[in-house]
Amino acid sequence: GQQLNQSPQSMFIQEGEDVSMNCTSSSIFNTWLWYKQDPGEGPVLLIALYKAGELTSNGRLTAQFGITRKDSFLNISASIPSDVGIYFCAGSNTGNQFYFGTGTSLTVIP
């Protein structure tokens, strides 16, 4: 199946810093989802995006649906230690099957 490329692959940041990551696809999607996964657990849905250009926030998290519909971005402001984990994007053009990104591993240094 398709796989989406996420960048960066990993990040090491100081607590309090802002974080930006992105996800790109060769295909157009009409839905983007962002998940966070802690080790040994299932992913937890953070934000869902439904149309091009949409900007949606969930607390300190903000995600955007790229205008080209081939990319999406996730920002985390004022990072805290519990933000540590792997962040996955997922895209779909049918609403049924989602393709997952390669993941961005975030480490927050207190």
Interacting residues with another protein (CB under 8 A): 1, 3, 31, 33, 35, 40-45, 48, 88, 90, 92, 95-103, 105
Residue 73 or 98 with smaller CB distance to another protein = 98
List, as one string, the DSSP characters of 2-47: --BEEE-SEEEEETT--EEEEEE-SS--SEEEEEEE-TTS--EEEE
- Least spacing, CB of residue 97 vs another protein, in Å: 6
- Least spacing, CB of residue 3 vs another protein, in Å: 7
Residue 77 or 93 with smaller CB distance to another protein = 93
CA dihedral 3, 46, 28, 93 (to 10 degrees): 90
Give kind and range of the element (H or E) at residue 69.
Answer: none
Residue 70 or 77 with smaller CB distance to another protein = 70
Residue 73 or 100 with smaller CB distance to another protein = 100
- Least spacing, CB of residue 16 vs another protein, in Å: 27
- Least spacing, CB of residue 37 vs another protein, in Å: 8
Per-residue buried b or exposed e for 70-79, using 16+ beta carbons within 10 Å of the residue's own CB: bbbbbbbeeb
